[in-house]
Amino acid sequence: MQLTSHIGDLHEVEADWLILPIWEDGAPGKAAAELDVKLGGVIARLREAGDIKGKAKELTPLLDPKGIAAGRVMVVGLGKRAGIDRNILHDAAAAAARAITSKARDRLGFALPEDVSNLNWGDVALACGVGLMQGCDGPGLRKSEKDRFPPKEIVLIAPASAPAEEIKQATERAGIEAAAVSLARELVNTPPCDLFPETFAARADKVAQETGLQCTILDLRQLETERMGALLAVARGSARAPRLVVLRHSKGTGKTLGLVGKGVTFDSGGLSLKTNDQMVDMKCDMAGAAAVLGAMQAIARMALPVNVIGVMALVENMPGGKAMKLGDVLHARNGKTIEVLNTDAEGRLILADALAYAIDHKADHLVDLATLTGACIVALGMEVAGLMSNNDEWKGRVETAARTAGERLWPLPMFPLYGEMIKSDVADIKNTGGSRWAGAISAAKFLEEFVAGKPWVHLDIAGPAWAEKENAVRASGGTGAFVRTLVQLARQYA
């Protein structure tokens, strides 16, 4: 699948489908109005009759249009002009692509909407390009009969008045970002019999070879040498050995951005075993690491002038004869001791050592991403990530990146009083807050012990990383959440 751009008139675009976004309010854009004239005014008539309203994600297929080069037209609503953002454009484009790609077609055209307040042409092309490509992607990789058919080419079309070079560059960026989101989704969707620490690391190595990232993979022995006692304890119950993957992109002159991902390739809970219902989707527990890998791939392919280190902590959390036990006291890399009171609070244990490793390897600003707590889903729901930080300035920069990228997160407080929850009688800290209250925050307070006071943001993506059911704009399964935010953050960091 290729994403390209083209400057020209809509009625001349040769495509199996021409996607035409329309507004709910105000007059249509010039190019859209001209296309409708060629179509004999059918869109205006359907509007008049109330069949087309232009509400966000509203889809109206015109299957046998006359007077234009394209074989079919899909009219998609954008909603009201005020408040339009990258997310709304992304979702409208994705909804149209999802509706179309249930059948095999070669070429899709997309008419970039004009006069989008607050957004320049580049932003519009980026949002729509990524949305279109995401809408072509589904979780059914292993079905004997495919149910989704990515086209050979998607072309973004803008009128002659638009800045061709800006659109071309944004289209290129969109292709790279969409591929990065798809990589994260694919990794999350891969069954845990195929994706475990060793195979995840091999995939990361392949990405590094293809993009020129520097890749270091620590195996069991090296993790022991590196004193990663907390990560190793989690890994001990599994027949699959752990890995720590470190990717480096060194093209900057200033500080280093550290991205750290939770990569539990399957979370059974360990001896604190989950129920079937709780365990059923736990192949998703490596979504943080997948987001880091996707983002690193994009950062390298864009050749951004920044220094970034990506650290992925990869383990399988299983019960077994050697599994860590309740009451065990672990020695983390940074010297702190941890009392284990619940083996299902494993994510913070592996992140503890991964964060310390990133700091030892000169990360100046940190972001970790983790499907860390069910409590975060209770607090914010399935679609919004929790943001916790030790530094208001850095937190603001991550919030800006997320807003620009069109992804949703919301801050949770980090008052010192929450730190009381993880004090242990026998060790420096314990790995659960001991009650159900403020579970997302007590987990973040735990992580804070391992960042050595460096500016750090923790994103709990337990909700948005995984979609239980499909809807109009996205497939079920892995979502690739926060890849776009990380790419945006790296661009801002430059």
| Contact by Cβ (8 Å): 61, 72 | yes
User: Judged by CB under 6 A, which of 91, 344, 368, 448 binds ligand BES?
Assistant: 344
**How far is Cα 294 from Cα 363, in angstroms, rounded to an integer?**
19
Residues contacting ligand BES: total by CB under 6 A = 15
Decide if residue 344 touches Mn ion (CB under 5 A): yes
Task: Give yes or no: 348 in active site.
Answer: yes
At CA 315, angle to CA 309 and CA 318, rounded to 5? 165
User: Judged by CB under 5 A, which of 114, 172, 267, 448 binds Mn ion?
Assistant: 267
Sign of CA dihedral 1, 142, 282, 363: negative
Rounded to a whole number of angstroms, the minimum distance from the CB of residue 174 to ligand BES is 29
Rounded to a whole number of angstroms, the minimum distance from the CB of residue 415 to Mn ion is 25
| Contact by Cβ (8 Å): 391, 455 | yes
Task: Return the range that interacts with ligand BES (CB under 6 A); candidates 97-105, 106-114, 290-298, 339-347.
Answer: 339-347
Residues contacting Zn ion: total by CB under 5 A = 4
User: Judged by CB under 5 A, which of 36, 58, 172, 285 binds Zn ion?
Assistant: 285
User: Residue 403: exposed, middle, or buried by beta-carbon count in 10 A (0-12, 13-18, 19+)?
Assistant: middle
Residues 297-356 that bind Zn ion (CB under 5 A): 347
**How far is Cα 177 from Cα 423, in angstroms, rounded to an integer?**
42
Sign of CA dihedral 424, 426, 431, 434: negative
**How far is Cα 144 from Cα 326, in angstroms, rounded to an integer?**
44
Rounded to a whole number of angstroms, the minimum distance from the CB of residue 347 to ligand BES is 5
Decide if residue 424 touches ligand BES (CB under 6 A): no
| Contact by Cβ (8 Å): 101, 151 | yes
**Of the listed 38, 105, 274, 325, which one is catalytic?**
274
How many Cβ atoms sit within 10 Å of the Cβ of residue 137? 25
Task: Report the C-alpha dihedral over residues 389, 393, 398, 401, rounded to 10 degrees.
Answer: 170
Residues in the chain: 494
Give 114 or 344: the residue with its C-beta nearer to Mn ion: 344
Q: Report the partner that residue 342 touches, choosing among ligand BES, Zn ion, Mn ion, none (CB closer than 5 to 8 A by kind).
A: ligand BES
Q: Report the partner that residue 390 touches, choosing among Zn ion, Mn ion, ligand BES, none (CB closer than 5 to 8 A by kind).
A: none
**Of the listed 348, 397, 445, 484, which one is catalytic?**
348
- Residues near 206 by Cβ (< 8 Å), separated by ≥ 6? none
Decide if residue 267 touches ligand BES (CB under 6 A): yes
User: Judged by CB under 6 A, which of 189, 334, 373, 389 binds ligand BES?
Assistant: 373
3-class DSSP state of 466: strand
Q: Map residues 427-456 to x or -, x wherever contact with ligand BES holds by CB under 6 A.
A: -----x------x-----------------
| Contact by Cβ (8 Å): 346, 267 | yes
Residues 248-267 that bind Zn ion (CB under 5 A): 264, 267
Chain CA centroid to CA 168, Å? 24
Give 130 or 462: the residue with its C-beta nearer to Zn ion: 462
Task: Give yes or no: 403 in active site.
Answer: no
**How far is Cα 263 from Cα 195, in angstroms, rounded to an integer?**
11
Q: Which residues bind ligand BES (CB under 6 A)?
A: 267, 285, 342, 344-347, 371-375, 432, 439, 462
Q: Which residues bind Zn ion (CB under 5 A)?
A: 264, 267, 285, 347
Residues catalogued as catalytic:
274, 348
Q: Which residues bind Mn ion (CB under 5 A)?
A: 267, 344, 346
